[in-house]
Amino acid sequence: MAERELMYREALREAIDEEMARDPTVFIIGEGIAERGGSYKVTEGLLAKYGPGRVRDTPIAEAGMIGVGVGAAIAGARPIVEILYVDFAMLGMDMIVNQAAKFRLMTGGEGRVPFVMRTQGGTGGGVAAQHSQSLEALFYHIPGLRVVMPSTPSDAKGLLKYALRQPDPVMFLEHKHLYMTRGMVPDGEHIIEFGKGDIKRAGTDVTVIAWSNMVPRTLEAAEELSLQGISVEVIDPRTLVPLDRAMILASVSRTRRCVIVQEANRRGGVASDICSIILAEAFWELDAPVEIVAGLDIPVPFNLALEKASVPQKDDIIAAVRRALHESPVARAAG
């Protein structure tokens, strides 16, 4: 199929545009998203095309806007609520955790909540502790939510289109560093189902699992390691809930070594849970302990050197891969 190069933010815009054109119940609300086109320019042009009824600016009232999004979804529309920073979504946690996530069960399966919250997280450029968090583990923990973290323009578009067609509340977590990155996106109807990971680079010596902005960083590490003769397989689950366990377990069983990389701080993180799944399902396939590379268990500092030190860098990933390789019984015997 033909494809074009797009920026991550353009791919997101295409997804919203196409779904708004297809389904008149899709609409988007958020701070500065209409006339201004959003802080990251994702919604640029949509106001002119779809009008003020379906592209609305909101006051700074996250609990209210997330709540009305959830209510609109319960009532059968398909709202997208854009929250400027995932940090600000904390103001709407009741609506996400107690309302959106639980409605389906509380109604015995009758009620569905096709609500999409688009937001972005992660470190980048010294925006300090309240604008830099990676909070996917909070949502991952709550049954009833879908957690999506695309790393490429193609995935961003395909997953957002799918999010706007499936029936459950979606935490669509973008990364502030990725909006300007470029990648090839297939032409035509491009939809990516949830729960299907993607092998971003095939390899044979070690499996590295990473998502969001840690994917490009891991790919850089893999490239460097390949020059030293180490073949790294990079797996991007793309959606953390549902998680493509089958792809992860198959890859780990093949390479027998695994490193998990997350930008979020380590304690209680998604990496730890993926690690526990691997240990429960594939322990006897492993030749080395599973390595986790994660952010430090502190809030993100402003100082740029400290910010960098608080989240995984390429060299941290390379070091972890080396540990995973050298810890194998074979390597030990050879040593």
Q: Which residues of 18-53 are buried (b: 16+ CB within 10 A; e: fewer)?
A: bbbeeeebbbbbbbebbeebbbbbbbbebbeebeee
Interatomic CA distance for residues 134 and 168, integer angstroms: 22
Task: Choose between 71 and 126: whose C-beta lies nearer to another protein.
Answer: 71
Catalytic residue among 10, 18, 19, 131: 131
Residue 128 near another protein by CB under 8 A: no
Nearer to another protein, 110 or 187 (CB): 110
**Rounded to an integer, what is the distance from CA 138 to the centroid of its chain?**
13
Please identify, using beta-carbon distances, which residue of 5 and 94 lies nearer to another protein: 94
Residue closest to 89 by CA, chosen among 161, 198, 170, 21: 170
| Cβ 105 to another protein shortest distance, Å | 5
Is residue 63 a contact residue for another protein (CB under 8 A)? yes
The answer to whether 108 contacts another protein (rule: CB under 8 A) is: yes
Q: Does 280 bind another protein (CB under 8 A)?
A: no
Q: Which of 8, 11, 30, 58 binds another protein (CB under 8 A)?
A: 58
Please confirm, yes or no, whether 177 is among the known catalytic residues. Answer: no
Map tokens 């609990």 to a residue: 63
79 touching another protein, by CB under 8 A? yes
Chain centroid to Cα 60, Å, comes to 24
Nearer to another protein, 72 or 208 (CB): 72
Q: How far apart are CA 97 and CA 143, in angstroms?
A: 9
Among the candidate windows 99-107, 124-132, 193-201, 324-332, which touches another protein by CB under 8 A?
Answer: 99-107
Does residue 33 bind another protein (CB under 8 A)? no
Which among 81, 84, 55 is positioned nearest to 67, based on CA atoms? Answer: 81
Q: Does the footprint of another protein cover residue 54 (CB under 8 A)? A: yes
Which residue number, 47 or 70, has a Cβ lying nearer to another protein? 70
Q: Residues 6 or more apart from 12 whose CB is under 8 A from it?
A: 42, 118, 156, 157, 160, 174
Q: Which is nearer to another protein, 40 or 115 (CB)?
A: 115
| C-alpha to C-alpha distance for 119 and 91, rounded to whole angstroms | 13
Q: Which is nearer to another protein, 79 or 183 (CB)?
A: 79
Among 98, 130, 204, 276, binds another protein (CB under 8 A): 98
With binding defined as CB under 8 A, does residue 7 bind another protein? Answer: no
Binding another protein (rule: CB under 8 A), the pick from 99, 132, 152, 255 is 99
Edge to edge, the sheet with strand 198-201 lists: 198-201, 232-236, 206-210, 258-265, 291-295
3-state DSSP call for residue 187?
Answer: coil
Phi-psi region of 312 (alpha: psi -120 to 50; beta: other; left: phi over 0): beta
CB of 138 to another protein, least distance (A): 17
Residue selected from 30, 37, 67, 295 as contacting another protein according to rule CB under 8 A: 67
Active site residue 131: yes
Interaction between residue 103 and another protein (CB under 8 A): yes
| Closest-CA residue to 186 (of 148, 219, 151, 157) | 157
What part of residues 144-163 is at the interface with another protein (CB under 8 A)? 144
Report residue 156 as tokens.
Answer: 């961003």
Per DSSP, what are the bridge partners of residue 174? 120
# binding residues, another protein (CB under 8 A): 40
Q: Which spans of this chain sit near another protein (rule: CB under 8 A)?
A: 24-25, 27, 53-54, 56, 58-59, 61, 63-77, 79, 94-95, 98-99, 103-111, 143-144
User: Which residues are the active-site residues?
Assistant: 62, 131
